[in-house]
Structure 1
Amino acid sequence: MLDLMRLFGQVVEEQSFTVVARKLGISQPAVSNQIRAFEEKLGVKLLYRKGKGFALTPEGEIVHKHALHMLDEWSELMREIGDSEKLMSGKIHIGASHIPGEYLLPAYLAAFRKNYPEIIFKLSIGDSLEMAEKVLSHEVDFAVVGAVFDTEKLTSEFWLNDELGFVISSDHPLSTCESLEINSIMEDPMIIREMGSGHRRAFEEAISKHGLDLNDFNIVLEVGSTEAVKNAVRSGIGFSFLSRHASESCEKQGLVWANVKDLSIERGFYLLTRRNKPLTLIADECYRFLASQRSEARGQGLE
């Protein structure tokens, strides 16, 4: 019955049988049949057609309100009895933008799994906007991204700080400069991350303080990952800006990190969840573990 309640809640939230079916990986008729089965169990009609969509019947509104409350209560119950080790198993699906997904989360998840070895993870990596959409669509339990998404349906909690620095190939003429002026690099070929990435958003916000935008730079390549940025810079295509979390061993990789005067590019990484929607027991435990690392990182000067 809880599964039917949860499905009914998703259909109402998405206002589409087709969207819910696609997100769950099942057919649209399967969703319709399960909603019909839910109605038969309750003995009332929950939905009626309205134009091209549907609306809740008076009984449907009552059931929807109580279903949400009961699902919240169930999640709270599971959380309160969470000390039972037999419950701490299953899969946690986390979404992440490239830097936290590729350079930060693997170590943290390994540490978490030492306490709960029965838990397995699925880690989906993409740009921040894509991961926010996955949180909304229930495709991931929660996400770690490089941008804030505080909306009617999403909420962000600060996790860790990050800084972007100028990087260039070690055999490029600019590599010998200890410090650069922003005006001196604007005409050189530049590599930038794709639209929707927190990396790109942070760069745009930083240069806007100088009255500049992307059109003022000679952008020759747009890429979809940090490793692609590194490889493109190393090959000599142009310069870029790189997260300090991804900059370890730059010299060994043929890259040089330099300072650009008066251009400070800082951003945060954020834990992203659906607003007022409790996580599963194991996902909540993992979320709390990651959130607790914030204070430890600050104490170690990692922020």
Structure 2
Amino acid sequence: MAINFHQLHIFYTVADKGSFSHAAAALHMTQPAVTMQVQSLEDYLGVKLFHRSTKKIELSEAGRALLPYARRCIELVRETEAAMSRFTTMIEGRMQLGASLTVGEYVLPRLLGPFNKEYPNISVSMKVMNTTQILEEILNHQLTFGLVEAQVNHPDVHTEPVLSDELKLIVPAGHPLAERDTAAFEDVLLYPFILREKGSGTRRVMEEELERCGFDTGRMRIVMELGSTGAVKSAVESGLGITILSQSSVKHEVALGLVKVLNIEEVAFRRSFYSIYLATTLLPISAVTFLTFLRERDLSQWL
């Protein structure tokens, strides 16, 4: 009998979580089932992998030696699934994900159509909410994975860039700056700003890049802070101010001649969108296929 990958995955999760009960929750298994699989692996290997006590468990010397091999096996399975997902359109399944506001409202809707044409047997269920809510639902096993606008630093979560994006200066049609393609920061400061709320991924990217380039964001005359990209766009279209938003989010308004997109001299607001999921999770093949699609296709033809 060969070593059992399922048991290796369970062993790795117990070691990572530090308890059988937490590993059981992460794996959607009962605690006795997790204990039984670890015992079966110990019987097969002929060693004890954990020292158990009433208060905690600790890896044995053999367990510490096995851990990096188990991690490599999990990584290899993930890489194998990603490689194989390129070669078939017959993959079936339901893909459930969370998407932060800009990604879910303006980016993914343009990509799901082409994805569906290539993989017609994968159905998609998407919840649009902020990054904090997505992270909470992933940690509570209510969502498999999410696509968010800022890197997430959490010990239990794997974060990986999968999409590129760029923010631009957005002004209403007829605005004094609308005749230009590029504006100096000093010229931009003459006009009122309408921005996303503090803490949003878009706002954070804008502020960090301006400060990195030596510009004082405190000099910006902010007249409104709004909780959605749609609200910001509506206010700008109405002539209430200018803003900095993802270029992807105003494609429709640009086509209708409602707003103009400009660059700010010496500043490039480039960012990534990230996939996030539990580090101990093996994503379903439908999710692996979708993330591979995002990484490897030329998405500019749709965005």
Which TM bucket (shorter chain)?
0.5 to 0.7
Q: 5+ residue gaps in structure 2?
A: none
Post-superposition shift, 1:203? 1.1
SS of alignment partner, residue 203 of structure 1: helix
Structure-1 residue corresponding to 2:202: 199
SS of alignment partner, residue 244 of structure 2: strand
Structure-1 residue corresponding to 2:52: 48
Distance 1:80 1:101, change over 3 A: closer
Conserved? CA contact 1:190–1:218, under 8 Å: yes
* Alpha-carbon displacement from aligned partner over 1:74-98 (angstroms, at most 9, x marks no partner): 5566567665666x11233444333
SS of alignment partner, residue 247 of structure 1: helix
Structure-1 residue corresponding to 2:119: 116
Q: Give the whole-Å Cα distance in 1 for the aligned partners of 2:257 and 2:232.
A: 13
Conserved? CA contact 2:99–2:148, under 8 Å: yes
* Alpha-carbon displacement from aligned partner over 1:227-259 (angstroms, at most 9, x marks no partner): 232244456664322222111343798953364
Q: Give the whole-Å Cα distance in 2 for the aligned partners of 1:3 and 1:48.
A: 21
Q: What letter matches 2:297 in structure 1?
A: Q
Structure-2-length-normalised TM-score = 0.68
Post-superposition shift, 1:119? 1.2
Distance 1:137 1:73, change over 3 A: farther
* Alpha-carbon displacement from aligned partner over 1:177-208 (angstroms, at most 9, x marks no partner): 43565345547553322445432233113322
Q: 5+ residue gaps in structure 1?
A: none
Conserved? CA contact 1:233–1:255, under 8 Å: no
User: Is residue 2:168 matched to residue 1:164?
Assistant: yes
Structure-1 residue corresponding to 2:101: 98
User: Is residue 2:290 matched to residue 1:286?
Assistant: yes
Q: What letter matches 2:52 in structure 1?
A: Y
User: Is residue 2:9 matched to residue 1:6?
Assistant: yes
Distance 1:256 1:84, change over 3 A: closer
2:233 to 230, 238, 263: 230
Structure-2 residue corresponding to 1:175: 175
Alignment of 1:221-300 (within 5 A): 221-234=224-237, 238-250=241-253, 255-257=258-260, 259=262, 262=265, 264-272=267-275, 280-294=284-298, 297=300
Q: What letter matches 1:160 in structure 2?
A: S
Q: Give the whole-Å Cα distance in 1 for the aligned partners of 2:233 and 2:37.
A: 53
Distance 1:40 1:229, change over 3 A: same
Post-superposition shift, 1:17? 6.2
Post-superposition shift, 1:108? 2.0
Distance 1:3 1:102, change over 3 A: farther
Q: What letter matches 2:40 in structure 1?
A: K
Distance 1:9 1:227, change over 3 A: farther
- Tell which deviates more after alignment, 137-146 or 283-292: 137-146
Structure-2 residue corresponding to 1:38: 37
Q: Give the whole-Å Cα distance in 2 for the aligned partners of 1:160 and 1:175.
A: 29
Alignment RMSD (CA, Å): 4.6
- Tell which deviates more after alignment, 285-294 or 131-140: 131-140
Aligned length: 289
Q: Give the whole-Å Cα distance in 2 for the aligned partners of 1:22 and 1:265.
A: 43
* Alpha-carbon displacement from aligned partner over 1:144-190 (angstroms, at most 9, x marks no partner): 4444679997564463342322335x6xxx83443565345547553
Percent same amino acid at aligned positions?
Answer: 25
Conserved? CA contact 1:128–1:196, under 8 Å: no
Post-superposition shift, 1:100? 3.0
Post-superposition shift, 1:105? 1.8
User: Is residue 2:218 matched to residue 1:215?
Assistant: yes
Alignment of 1:52-91 (within 5 A): 54-61=57-64, 64-65=67-68, 67-72=70-75, 74-75=77-78, 88-91=91-94
